[in-house]
């Protein structure tokens, strides 16, 4: 995937939220704030103004690519934990 769009970010955020729900972790009200490298605003995932599970201070990165990659990494990790819990 060459270019990351807002739609790609929305899909990956939904995957992250599904992984949280599968682990019965807090998943309600997680929102993605759109960043702008040009204006010095980072992409963040926040839950009622606080950091959600697995994302340090809600920071996802300065670019859409950074945010997508971070959400993907955390989602895959949580999915792996869920899989291991079910197979122990």
* 9-68: pLDDT as tens digits: 999 999 999 999 999 999 999 999 998 888 889 999 999 878 887 888 889 999 999 999
What does the pLDDT read at residue 87? 64
Q: Does the structure show a pLDDT above 90 at 72? A: yes
H/E element holding 36?
none
What does the pLDDT read at residue 88? 47
The stretches of 1-88 forming alpha helices (DSSP H) are 6-22, 64-86
For the record, the structure tokens of 76 come out as 């895959």
Tally Cβ neighbours within 10 Å of residue 38.
7
């Amino acid at each position: 995937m060459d270019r990351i769009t807002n739609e790609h970010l929305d899909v990956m955020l939904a995957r992250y939220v599904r992984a949280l729900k599968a682990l019965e972790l807090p998943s309600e009200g997680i929102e993605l704030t759109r960043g702008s490298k040009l204006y010095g605003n980072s992409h963040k995932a926040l839950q009622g103004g606080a950091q959600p599970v697995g994302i340090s201070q809600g920071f996802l990165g300065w670019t859409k690519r950074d945010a997508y990659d971070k959400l993907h990494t955390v989602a895959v990790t949580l999915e792996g934990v869920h899989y291991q819990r079910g197979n122990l």
